[in-house]
């Protein structure tokens, strides 16, 4: 069935569990052992950035927000409690809140249609970043950003970070079942929009 | 297009890795954030842990074993790098740009500037500048070779061979894995073998061009 094949891609829970447990150990240890924070930072820096880039209109914003996320995590870490979804979900929730705060400050910014154009223009002052993104990648990311926020978040967390539906639910505040439905619907809409662009 | 094919494309679009410059930018900011928190000496970040935190962060960011080399080099328990406010960091970038050679036709990316309200790790600016310059020389050598411009190729080779004398190659900046990469590039250029250089440019110098 096409719809369920969307939702079932990759991400085997049994493989994720050991990493989760190790993160939990480090996160709890980081309260008294600062080296553990460095390990967590090294482990999750890329994921946080990818998630934020999937939400942001440009890489600079994603970089800023990545730094903000870890700064906030640093402050909140002593209060960290394992809630079963893992440290990554906790951290990405911080990232999401940072992105939402940033979005509120940028409310006067262009609507989604304009965002496609904004990203398709390579940034003159960041040749590395500009070269990294192929046209198709930029187009797909722009389409993801044009989705309603819950769908955009779910897809970004699934395909840029590799979270399970349960973990995504913990980040966006929905049940696993509701998240699964959201993912399926979001992928269908995204694929349709992508198909329209291709025609 | 099947759903599997579409999700593969989507995953590819959303998992493009950070560039080295982006990594360094975030590393510098987070190291600064940690340091600022240490300076406030609140919560679990007591003064007694400040060196450990900063060093530990740096271990996982741009300057792997260099940190330990630096600590040994400076012989003290305080961070060997210290912190730089944006103005100081910009001065460091400007100084490094002024005395770091780059091939004709290349310009420094405008993004190579400090952001306001961010504290940076002192010394990171020069490393950023030299890292980008080294990429430029490799790109120029490949271009010159492709164009059969032997004079330019020879000049590029001379500069690339001098990289071990650059600040970022030695303590407290470089670790073994970093110098190993550069050594392979230098050796490949020396024997006129473009494949390892092109592979390194593709891997570590994405977007560096005229």
Question: Which residue of B lies nearest to A68 if distances are taken between CA atoms?
Answer: B30
Q: Which residues of B touch A70 (CB under 8 A)?
A: 30, 33
Q: Is residue B2 part of a domain?
A: no
For B83, the 3-state DSSP assignment is strand
Q: Which of A167-181, B44-58, B102-116, B173-187 has the lowest mean pLDDT?
A: B44-58
Q: Is residue B7 part of a domain?
A: no
Q: Which residues are CB-neighbours of A1 under 8 A, at least 6 positions away?
A: none
Give A70-111 as a DSSP string.
HHHHHHHGGG----SS-HHHHHHHHHHHHHHHHHHHTTTSPP
Q: Is residue B143 part of a domain?
A: yes
What is the per-residue pLDDT for A77?
A: 84
End-to-end CA, chain A: 25
Domain ranges, residue B55 = 15-204
In the numeric block, the tokens 């939402």 are attached to: A100
**B11 Cβ under 8 Å from any chain A Cβ:** yes
**B204 Cβ under 8 Å from any chain A Cβ:** no
Q: Which residues of A touch B39 (CB under 8 A)?
A: none
ipTM associated with this complex: 0.74
Q: Which of A102-111, B33-42, B83-92 has the lowest mean pLDDT?
A: B33-42
Does A110 have pLDDT greater than 80? no
A167, A86 Cβ separation under 8 angstroms? yes
For B110, the 3-state DSSP assignment is coil
CA contacts within 13 A on the Cβ side of B186: 16
Most confident of A18-27, B94-103, B178-187: B94-103
Helix (H) / strand (E) element for B189: namely: helix B176-190
Assign a CATH topology to domain A12-198. Rna Polymerase Sigma Factor; Chain: A (1.10.1740)
User: What are the structural domain ranges in chain A?
Assistant: 12-198
Q: Which residues of B touch A6 (CB under 8 A)?
A: 3, 7
Q: Is residue B30 part of a domain?
A: yes
Number of folded domains that form chain B? 1
Most confident of B59-68, B101-110, B122-131: B101-110
Q: Is residue B171 part of a domain?
A: yes
Burial B80-95 (b: 16+ CB within 10 A, else e): bbebbbbebbbebbee
B118, B140 Cβ separation under 8 angstroms? no
- The residue that leads in pLDDT, B154 or B208, is B154
Most confident of A72-86, A112-126, B71-85, B90-104: B90-104
Torsion angle, CA of A156/A157/A161/A163, rounded to 10 degrees?
A: -150
For A80-102, write each residue's pLDDT tens digit: 876 667 888 899 999 999 999 88
In the numeric block, the tokens 């310009």 are attached to: B107
pLDDT tier at B69 (50, 70, 90 boundaries)? Answer: very low
């Amino acid at each position: 069935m096409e719809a369920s094949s969307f939702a079932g891609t990759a991400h085997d829970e049994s493989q994720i569990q050991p990493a989760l447990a190790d993160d939990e150990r480090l996160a709890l240890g980081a309260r008294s052992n600062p080296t553990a924070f460095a390990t967590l930072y090294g482990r999750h820096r890329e994921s946080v950035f990818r998630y934020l880039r999937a939400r942001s209109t440009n890489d600079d914003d994603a970089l800023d927000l990545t730094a903000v996320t870890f700064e906030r995590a640093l402050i909140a870490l002593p209060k960290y409690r394992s809630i079963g979804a893992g440290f990554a979900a906790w951290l990405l929730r911080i990232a999401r809140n940072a992105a939402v705060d940033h979005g509120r400050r940028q409310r006067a910014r262009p609507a989604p249609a304009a965002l496609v154009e904004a990203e398709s223009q390579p940034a003159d002052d960041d040749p590395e970043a500009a070269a990294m993104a192929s046209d198709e990648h930029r187009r797909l990311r722009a389409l993801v950003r044009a989705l309603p926020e819950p769908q955009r978040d779910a897809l970004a967390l699934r395909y840029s970070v590799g979270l399970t539906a349960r973990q995504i639910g913990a980040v966006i505040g929905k049940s696993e079942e509701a998240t699964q439905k959201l993912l399926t619907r979001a992928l269908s809409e995204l694929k349709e929009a992508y198909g329209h662009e291709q025609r | 297009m099947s759903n599997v094919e579409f999700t593969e494309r989507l995953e590819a679009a959303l998992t493009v890795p950070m560039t080295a410059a982006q990594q360094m930018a975030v590393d510098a900011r987070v190291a600064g954030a940690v340091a600022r928190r240490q300076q406030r000496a609140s919560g679990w970040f007591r003064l007694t842990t400040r060196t450990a935190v900063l060093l530990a962060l740096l271990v996982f960011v741009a300057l792997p074993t260099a940190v330990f080399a630096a600590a040994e080099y400076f012989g003290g328990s305080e961070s060997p790098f210290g912190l730089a406010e944006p103005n100081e960091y910009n001065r460091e970038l400007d100084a490094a740009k002024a005395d770091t050679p780059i091939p004709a036709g290349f310009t420094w990316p405008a993004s190579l500037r400090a952001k306001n309200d961010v504290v940076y790790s002192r010394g990171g600016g020069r490393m950023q500048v030299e890292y980008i310059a080294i990429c430029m020389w490799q790109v120029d050598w490949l271009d010159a070779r492709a164009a059969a411009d032997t004079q330019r190729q020879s000049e590029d080779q001379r500069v690339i061979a001098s990289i071990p004398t650059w600040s970022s190659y030695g303590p407290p900046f470089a670790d073994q894995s970093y110098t190993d990469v550069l050594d392979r590039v230098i050796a490949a250029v020396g024997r006129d073998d473009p494949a390892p250089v092109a592979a390194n440019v593709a891997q570590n110098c994405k977007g560096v061009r005229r």
